[in-house]
Structure 1
């Protein structure tokens, strides 16, 4: 029996039913990969800076989160997340020493340069 069905059986409020249905949709939807990459990004980025191959990071990500993402898609997801974080000024820092990771700093600089060029035109 699903969580939604169990909730309906208990007759909670319509708002509670909606909250549970939306929560289940978020967890079980196509957006799960995006949510998982956002969650794992700092750890992945930290290890990539330590010269862990992208292929190894991808394999570990797929095992940990239960996905079957292929290398080109994984690289694109990482690049998109770097750009997203750079746009919002979120720089990834090492959890051990607190130093900003260079890949994140480089991505932030590229976004800032691109934004500067667009404003000049």
Structure 2
């Protein structure tokens, strides 16, 4: 699977494309390509669990989906949630929130938090 993202970092716009083992892995890789040089601590953050729950199955393809992502940085772990009728949007929301949290709360032995966290386009 291939994903392309557009993101603003430090006042600059970047487009990054990556391939992955499924859409969420491809989005994760593209995000890391797009912002990794600005946030070295990103290399410490790893997605460790990904869960999907359809909230109203009776609505079929219009059902709201909740995605839970668990990440860790080798010291602590945290979870983030994305909710949307579109599973990719819900996954992206949870992924970006996870990365933002990890960069805003670095490991005790890591670098200082970034002032300007990445913003999706």
- TM-score bracket, shorter-length normalisation: under 0.3
Structure whose alpha-carbon radius of gyration is higher: 1
TM-score (norm 1): 0.26
- Flag the structure with higher strand content: 2
- Flag the structure with higher helix content: 1
